[in-house]
Amino acid sequence: MDKIVIHGGKRLAGEVRISGAKNAALPVIISSLLTEGWNTFHNIPDLMDVRTIKRLLASLGVKCEGKETLRVNAGEITNCEASYDLVKTMRASVLVLGPLVARMGRAKVSLPGGCAIGARPINLHLKALQALGAEIDLKEGYVEARAERLKGATIYFDISTVTGTENIMMAAVLAEGTTIIKNAAREPEVVNLADVLNSMGANIRGAGTDVITIEGVKGLQPTEATVIPDRIEAGTYLMAAAMTEGDLTLMGCNGDYMEAPITKLKDTGLAISSVEGGLRVKGTREICSVDVKTLPYPGFPTDLQAQMMALMTVGKGISVIRETVFENRFMHVNELLRMGANIAIEGNSAIIKGVQNLRGAPVMATDLRASASLVLAGLAAEGKTEISRVYHIDRGYERIVEKLSSLGADIKRIT
């Protein structure tokens, strides 16, 4: 299995291109299930999760061609089942449920089960589909959903759920009548998907607010659309600059959708400004400790919590990081401790006392964002850090070793 080896202490400088957002690309690619004919999507990141979605779509009879510009044709859907093998490697596979029921009247999707960051049930997706008139059965670890034609309904999500909102939006666009989603997720990735669906002929209003209204239409047409930049990848590179006293320009992204992390990072002493086509960030010698609470958008994203914790391990002072979105997203803590960090966990809070220096160590990635936090820690640490199980990072960071190495990091991948 591959490892990433980092010799820390190098100052990062230069320009790096931010890729398309994983969590926008996945639903956008899946939305092509609602159309017949070729869709064209630009700015698709080259990631393991994107390859998994292509495999999943191929198993349904969908044709995909290309990489950064991806053409997808769901003219003939020959199978309506997402297998356990695919869903267990990528939970976002459950996003085929809504569009398959809407277009084909049926879908069978493996239940995802728990994962490294929490239980992550899909009960809210299922309850909402039932409200739209789908019959739902759970059999042998699979959800089977059926409906002649879904009917619009008012849905209230107890918890703001990103993929739940996306799944139901994709189901409701072809439903008869009006669907109103209350307490909808407001994430920019939800807005990206709504824009793509509208460009296919859907009638969705209010995406980006917590009430989304969808007037069902009879059919959708293929479209051409672009995926938004990855705000989590961008945030990770901002922190890489912070941890190495670096000076980076992140191209292809802007501060839109990043107000919470940018504000927090400025509070740590980082200088962040807009430049043409991107963001410029300059680190400082002394990193101030700040407190962070993760929240649904527009709050501080849980997907940057682990990376922020890595930064706080070398902050001046004490930081409290409270994780409120997932119940078990502290798997990186034990690994950071191995590198000399001082962190205590109390319930859903981590209390981090900044140390002078981290020290390189062999560590293990446990999930996607945890692995990014270990890379950041490795960039700042004295000596050698060896990160195993790097397949986690391949799921969501495009060419991270090449990108960091082009900025001056001493980082390589070994097999």
* Residue 400 binds to ligand EPU (criterion: CB under 6 A): no
Among residues 120 and 146, whose Cβ is nearest to ligand EPU? 120
The span from the CA of 321 to the CA of 323, in Å, is 7
Q: Could you identify the residue written with the tokens 């992390």? A: 261
Among residues 179 and 307, whose Cβ is nearest to ligand EPU? 307
Q: List the one residue from 58, 159, 211, 275 that touches ligand EPU (CB under 6 A).
A: 159
Q: Which structure tokens are listed for 67?
A: 């990489």
Among residues 76 and 137, whose Cβ is nearest to ligand EPU? 137
Among residues 261 and 396, whose Cβ is nearest to ligand EPU? 396
Among residues 23 and 179, whose Cβ is nearest to ligand EPU? 23
Does the bond joining 229 to the residue before it have cis omega, within 30 degrees of 0?
A: no
Burial (CB < 10 A; 0-12, 13-18, 19+), residue 82, is buried
* Residue 206 binds to ligand EPU (criterion: CB under 6 A): no
The span from the CA of 57 to the CA of 213, in Å, is 28
Among residues 185 and 258, whose Cβ is nearest to ligand EPU? 185
| 3-state DSSP assignment of residue 215 | strand
Min separation Cβ 172 and ligand EPU, Å: 16
- Find the part of the chain contacting ligand EPU (CB under 6 A) among 114-122, 174-182, 219-227, 403-411: 114-122
Q: Which structure tokens are listed for 16?
A: 């790096």
| 3-state DSSP assignment of residue 386 | strand
Q: How many CB atoms lie within 10 A of CB 304?
A: 27
Min separation Cβ 117 and ligand EPU, Å: 6
Among residues 122 and 379, whose Cβ is nearest to ligand EPU? 122
Binding mask 56-75 for ligand EPU (x = CB under 6 A): --------------------
* Residue 208 binds to ligand EPU (criterion: CB under 6 A): no
Residues in region 13-32 near ligand EPU by CB under 6 A = 22-23, 26
Burial (CB < 10 A; 0-12, 13-18, 19+), residue 336, is buried
* Residue 350 binds to ligand EPU (criterion: CB under 6 A): no
> In degrees rounded to 5, what are phi and psi of residue 243?
-80, -15
- Do strands 38-42 and 13-17 pair parallel, antiparallel, or not at all (unpaired)? unpaired
Residues contacting residue 155 through CB under 8 Å, at least 6 positions apart: 128, 131, 132, 168, 179, 180, 181, 182
Min separation Cβ 90 and ligand EPU, Å: 8
Q: Which structure tokens are listed for 257?
A: 């959708």
* Residue 236 binds to ligand EPU (criterion: CB under 6 A): no
The span from the CA of 369 to the CA of 158, in Å, is 26
Looking at 200-301, list the stretches that DSSP marks H as alpha helix, in order from N- to C-terminal side: 231-244, 259-267
Residues in region 290-349 near ligand EPU by CB under 6 A = 302-303, 325-326
Tell me the β-bridge partners of 91: none
* Residue 124 binds to ligand EPU (criterion: CB under 6 A): yes
* Residue 366 binds to ligand EPU (criterion: CB under 6 A): no
Binding mask 162-201 for ligand EPU (x = CB under 6 A): xxx--------------------x----------------
- Do strands 342-346 and 349-353 pair parallel, antiparallel, or not at all (unpaired)? antiparallel
What residues are annotated to the active site?
115
The span from the CA of 27 to the CA of 10, in Å, is 37
Min separation Cβ 114 and ligand EPU, Å: 10
* Residue 396 binds to ligand EPU (criterion: CB under 6 A): yes
* Residue 45 binds to ligand EPU (criterion: CB under 6 A): no
* Residue 369 binds to ligand EPU (criterion: CB under 6 A): yes
Q: List the one residue from 9, 61, 105, 118 that touches ligand EPU (CB under 6 A).
A: 118
Among residues 185 and 361, whose Cβ is nearest to ligand EPU? 185
> Residue 225 in contact with residue 28, Cβ under 8 Å?
yes
HSE-CB of 204 using CA atoms within 13 angstroms: 32
Residues that bind ligand EPU (CB under 6 A): 22-23, 26, 91-92, 118-125, 159, 161-164, 185, 302-303, 325-326, 368-369, 396
